[in-house]
Amino acid sequence: MHPPLSLIFFFLTAGTSIGLFIFMYAIEFLQLFGKGQGLPKEVILKLGIIELLLIGAGAIGASFHLGHKLRAWKAIRRFRTSWLSREAVFSGAYGFTLLVYLVLNQLDANPFFEHFFGVLTFILGVLSGFSTAMIYASNKFVLEWNTSITVIYYLLMYLMLGSSLMAYFSYLYKLPYLGTFIFLTFLFLVLSFGFRLAFNIRQFYLKRPTMNEALNLPHNRPIRVIDTGSTTHNYCTEEFYYKKGKDMLSTVIPVAYLLTFVVPLFLVLYAWITGTHNQWILGLTYLFILVGSALERWSFFVEGNHVQNLFYGLYPEEGYKVRKGFMERKETKISLYG
Amino acid sequence: MAQYALVIDLNTCVGCHACATNCKEWNTQAAFGPLSDYDPYGREPSGVWYNRIMTYETGEFPNTQVFHLPKSCLHCQDAPCVPVCPTGATYKREQDGIVLVNYDDCIGCKLCSWSCPYGCREFDEADKVMKKCTLCIDRVYDESLPPEHRQPACVLTCPARARFFGDIEDPNSEVYKIIQERNGFVLFPDMGTNPANHYLPRIETKINLEEFEKHILKPDNPLFLEVMKRHHVSNKTPEQKQVEEVV
């Protein structure tokens, strides 16, 4: 699949915004039960503005992959069936409730309403991330994405982005949660790393359809594409098969793993074990995760193989298993040789 | 419920691309047009097509066969492109099962094309909306056209008469009968999309002249005398006529 840069941008901004809010509000929420000391109002304001700006930038950025940006509001219509519609609704609602929460928090309004909107923003943020991940995970024609692992590691990466930035701000604003967030960054790095590996390993065991299945021919019949009807590329071969990306993928994936998981893990472990807490280490950890995540998202798109590529002979064949039993239950009779 | 669809006979399709060309010609000027072209006179001409013809080869040399597969929107009965559309721009008509795109609501997010396993939706870079085969709905319901012309442009133009159009749910329709009689099949049957467009499989026709001579031109065949009588009228000898008949 061709990687849309605007969606990668949305992942980074929305992921950081939602991840950061989840941890920021978690501290506030735990204070309700006498756990921790909460956050100073100025810090909540600063972090809240960053979250608002990021989700706003993400929404504007994401609209760049749309043909008609001004009609984007219409995307709320099919909430009942479309994950993209749900994502649009939840992301928009997240931004709105976040603003209301910040206003209530800064005005010292009724704590019930403040926390009501806090919890609502928290839930909407998670739902927004979940809906975005489900756009990919629910697509059964891109088998690489069509798994619950996609959703789990998508959300884990939101938490990874949020916790690493929260660790940085904990140092910057001298908050008493630095150790906690260094540990959480480590935890979500390890979990995301594990699930990303599982996502990649799963691809080797996928049972893929074949061109014979696409054309409804028996499996034992050799078939090859002679002509695709046009002398140049078309929308289908460009959108669903990114040749340049496929060539670069074997280089980009290791770099993405290195920048997103390995280097930040070393940095966090160094900070944790040696107790060296400074803004360089924590800032670099977030930056590495941010840049690595961009590459990781790029790889995620390029790794996806759409089944329509079968018609063009661009679908992977070697090293993959054919679906067992296919065609044995078919009743269609096709006579090519008489 | 009615379900209009195309039935394409792979046995007679010669891969001439007339259907694709006439589709492009009709639809680029009709209600759902234009079908934009990019760099039409340049080095890499491309553009939006509702219908593309793929050519495949099966078998192993020297026993190979080539067949052509015209592929346009299959108007799936469980169309996966419809529920994913965030605006409701893509919809399936209840009265005839045709899947259409409302260009005024389409935001060009391309998600419908991601959800089509057949690659039958194309993004128009000029209009910034998703476009696809409409089964020439503007022809099918146009009462100003003669009844025999109320068919998709591709069906009317096919020189090999390999394309049929009609209601595949109506047992009295021609397409229903053709699908039943000739084992019509669909593409990607396991994807759960239940496509409406069907294809008729290739059938190899063998004519054995030796068998013909052996059975028809035998003296004990009741038709033999009739054949002889006909040829007797002309000046040619029956043997010469027989040879001509066989050839």
**A22, pLDDT greater than 50:** yes
What is the phi-psi region of residue B72: left when phi exceeds 0, alpha when psi lies from -120 to 50, beta otherwise?
beta
Interior/surface letters A305-327, b for 16+ CB within 10 angstroms, e for the rest: bbbbbbbbebbeeeebeeeeebb
Interface of A with B in 282-311 (CB under 8 A): 306-309, 311
With CA atoms as reference, report the closest residue to A70 among B169, B87, B120, B236.
B87
Binary contact (B88, A326; C-beta < 8 A): no
SS3 (DSSP) at B50 = coil
- Name the packing angle between helices B238-246 and B209-216 (round to 10°): 140
- B140 and B67 in a single domain? The answer is yes
- pLDDT at position A327: 40
- pLDDT at position A38: 84
User: CA of B62 to nearest chain A CA: how many angstroms apart?
Assistant: 13
- How far apart are alpha carbons A223 and A311 in whole angstroms? 11
Binary contact (B129, A67; C-beta < 8 A): yes
- pLDDT at position A328: 40
- Is B177 contained in some domain? yes
User: CA of A14 to nearest chain B CA: how many angstroms apart?
Assistant: 18
- pLDDT at position A163: 95
Domains of chain B: total:
2
- Is B190 contained in some domain? yes
- How far apart are alpha carbons A311 and B188 in whole angstroms? 10
pLDDT digits (tens, 9 = 90+) for A267-290: 999 999 988 888 899 999 999 999
- B159 and B229 in a single domain? The answer is no
Token representation of residue B201:
């499989």
Q: Give the pLDDT mean for A33-48.
A: 90
**B2 CB within 8 Å of a chain A CB:** no
Measured from the Cβ of residue B49, the count of other Cβ atoms closer than 10 Å reads 22
Interface of B with A in 55-84 (CB under 8 A): 55-60, 63, 65-67, 69, 71, 80, 83-84
- How far apart are alpha carbons A160 and A137 in whole angstroms? 20
- pLDDT at position A306: 94
**Considering chain A, what percentage of its residues have pLDDT values greater than 90?**
72
The contacts of residue B246 (CB under 8 Å, 6+ apart) are: B209, B212, B213, B217
ipTM at complex level: 0.88
Q: What is the mean pLDDT of chain A?
A: 90
With CA atoms as reference, report the closest residue to A235 among A38, A118, A67, A81.
A67
Q: Give the pLDDT mean for A246-264.
A: 93
- Is B221 contained in some domain? yes
pLDDT digits (tens, 9 = 90+) for B160-177: 999 999 999 999 999 999
- B232 and B151 in a single domain? The answer is no
- pLDDT at position A329: 40
- B156 and B216 in a single domain? The answer is no
Query: Do the beta carbons of residue A188 and residue A194 sit within 8 Å?
Result: no
DSSP A84-117: HHHHHHHHHHHHHHHHHHHHHHHTT--HHHHHHH
Q: Give the pLDDT mean for A251-265.
A: 95
- B66 and B139 in a single domain? The answer is yes
Binary contact (A336, B66; C-beta < 8 A): no
Q: Measured at the alpha carbon of residue B92, what is the angle toward residues B115 and B2, in degrees to the nearest 5?
A: 125
- pLDDT at position B207: 62
Token representation of residue B107:
């935001």
- Is B89 contained in some domain? no
- B154 and B214 in a single domain? The answer is no
**B112 CB within 8 Å of a chain A CB:** no
**A323, pLDDT greater than 50:** no
pLDDT digits (tens, 9 = 90+) for B96-122: 999 999 999 999 999 999 999 999 999
- How far apart are alpha carbons B106 and B86 in whole angstroms? 9
- How far apart are alpha carbons B101 and B48 in whole angstroms? 15
- How far apart are alpha carbons A260 and A269 in whole angstroms? 14
The one-character DSSP state at A234 is -
- Cα dihedral A32, A33, A35, A39 in deg (nearest 10): 0
User: CA of B33 to nearest chain A CA: how many angstroms apart?
Assistant: 17
- Is B94 contained in some domain? no
pLDDT digits (tens, 9 = 90+) for A189-204: 999 999 999 999 998 8
- β-strand partners of B58: A223, B65
User: CA of A142 to nearest chain B CA: how many angstroms apart?
Assistant: 8
- B171 and B242 in a single domain? The answer is no
Instruction: Please name the residue of chain B whose CA is at the shortest distance from the CA of residue A214.
Output: B188
- pLDDT at position B232: 61
Query: Do the beta carbons of residue A133 and residue A150 sit within 8 Å?
Result: yes
- Is B121 contained in some domain? no
- B214 and B195 in a single domain? The answer is no
- B141 and B234 in a single domain? The answer is no
The contacts of residue B150 (CB under 8 Å, 6+ apart) are: B139, B140, B141, B142
User: CA of A283 to nearest chain B CA: how many angstroms apart?
Assistant: 35
Range of the domain at B232: 209-246
- B217 and B174 in a single domain? The answer is no
Give the domain CATH number at B160.
3.30.70.20
Q: How many helices (H) and strands (E) does chain A have?
A: 11, 3
Q: Which residues of chain B carry a pLDDT beneath 50?
A: 247
Binary contact (B202, A332; C-beta < 8 A): no
- At A333, the pLDDT band (50, 70, 90 cuts) reads very low
- Is B84 contained in some domain? no
Binary contact (A216, B84; C-beta < 8 A): no
Query: Do the beta carbons of residue B122 and residue B130 sit within 8 Å?
Result: yes
- B136 and B234 in a single domain? The answer is no
Token representation of residue B96:
């005839």
pLDDT digits (tens, 9 = 90+) for A85-114: 999 999 999 999 999 999 999 998 898 999
- Is B47 contained in some domain? yes
- B165 and B220 in a single domain? The answer is no
